[in-house]
Amino acid sequence: NVGIYLQGIDGATVTGNDVGNFETATGENDRGIWLATATKNVVIEKNVVHDIVYTGTAGYAGKGVSISTGAAASNIAIQNNMIYNMAGDGDSYTSFGALYDPTGIVVYSAGTAGVNIYYNSIYLYGNTLNFSPLSYSIGIALDDGASASVINNSIQNNCGLLGTTGVGAVGIALETSSAQLTTVNKNNYYCNASSGVNNIGKIAAVDYPTLAGWNTAASDASLSGNPQYISTTNLHVSLAINSIN
């Protein structure tokens, strides 16, 4: 299932939509918003994408926003969206990248570039990973050599393991190399799953559990701290609680 799907579109704005609450039992990778082949010059902003969950046991999971244009000059802006509760039992990241894993925003398909991911708030939660020992939950993923600029996003990932199968939570994952990040800066990666590992980032086969390790590997200058969202369904920051400076 897909909430909003664009293919071959040149010029559009996807804004102000509430997308979510899909059927959960069917074995498939549901997507909230998907920009597919040859789509370009699109702004995705001020949407709330939520509750895209797979409850079966065959290795699938929900995705908030998926970009697979295959175009080097996509000119896609993903900005000021709230994305929460993407979940499922997932499958091997080593074999498939983020394709079958719970993910907030994923950019994939060889040649996809010109994508800007700015000022989004992402919250994954629930212990649902349970199909593959190599599965992750991921805030932002860049697969297949696709590239993007990732700036000023807030990611809280508490989505861990249902039992003992899987790896755990990661803030940002690059399937091939740090060169997939056109620019990266001023993001907040906070992973706090109660089961499995919690990694700031991942580049190819290497996991980075510490902010210092990630910032060095990715030439990033980001932070890691509880963003203090108001609730699991309201990703505004609580002004009553001291947040990240």
Beta bridge partners, 66, equal 34, 106
Q: Is 107 helix (H, G, I), strand (E, B) or coil?
A: strand
As a whole number of angstroms, the longest Cα–Cα distance in the chain is 45
Per-residue pLDDT of the chain (245 residues; tens, 9 = 90+): 999 999 999 999 999 999 999 999 999 999 999 999 999 999 999 999 999 999 999 999 999 999 999 999 999 999 999 999 999 999 999 999 999 999 999 999 999 999 999 999 999 999 999 999 999 999 999 999 999 999 999 999 999 999 999 999 999 999 999 999 999 999 999 999 999 999 999 999 999 999 999 999 999 999 999 999 999 999 999 887 655 65
Q: Residue 7, Cβ neighbours under 10 Å: how many?
A: 12
37 close to 7: Cβ distance less than 8 angstroms: yes
Taking the C-alpha atoms of residue 47 and residue 33, their distance in angstroms, rounded to an integer, is 10
Taking the C-alpha atoms of residue 227 and residue 241, their distance in angstroms, rounded to an integer, is 10
84 close to 44: Cβ distance less than 8 angstroms: no
Taking the C-alpha atoms of residue 177 and residue 117, their distance in angstroms, rounded to an integer, is 18
185 close to 175: Cβ distance less than 8 angstroms: no
Amino acid, single-letter form, for residue 213: G
Taking the C-alpha atoms of residue 100 and residue 131, their distance in angstroms, rounded to an integer, is 10
62 close to 53: Cβ distance less than 8 angstroms: yes
Place of tokens 């998926």: 66
37-94: pLDDT as tens digits: 999 999 999 999 999 999 999 999 999 999 999 999 999 999 999 999 999 999 999 9
In this prediction the pTM is 0.97
Give whole-number Cα distances, 49 to 57, 128, 166, 199, 202, in Å. 23, 19, 25, 24, 24
What's phi and psi for 217, nearest 5 deg? -65, -35
Taking the C-alpha atoms of residue 50 and residue 41, their distance in angstroms, rounded to an integer, is 24
